[in-house]
Structure 1
Amino acid sequence: MWTRHHKQRNTGRLIVPALAAVFLSYFGFHAYNGEFGIYSKYRYQARAVELQARLDTVKAQRTEIERRVQMLYDGSLEKDMLDEQARRTLNVSGADELTIMRPLSRAN
Structure 2
Amino acid sequence: MSARRNPPFGIVIYAAITLSLSAYFVFAAVQGDFGLFRRAEIEIEGEHLAEELVQLEKDVARMENLTLRLSDDYLDLDLLDQQARDVLGLMRADEIVVR
Counterpart in 2 of 1:62? 60
Identity of aligned residues (%): 24
Compare the two structures and name the one with the higher helix fraction.
2
1:30 deviation in Å? 0.6
Task: Determine which of 12, 19, 22 is the counterpart of 1:21.
Answer: 19
Whether 1:83 and 2:73 are equivalent positions in the alignment is no
Could you tell me the TM-score, scaled by structure 1's length? 0.72
CA change 1:63–1:25 in 2 (3 A) is same
1:45 maps to amino acid: E
1:88 deviation in Å? 2.3
CA distance in 2, matches of 1:87, 1:11: 94
Counterpart in 2 of 1:105? none
1:23 maps to amino acid: L
1:9 deviation in Å? 6.3
Aligned residues: 91
Could you tell me the TM-score, scaled by structure 2's length? 0.77
Whether 1:39 and 2:37 are equivalent positions in the alignment is yes
1:46 maps to amino acid: I
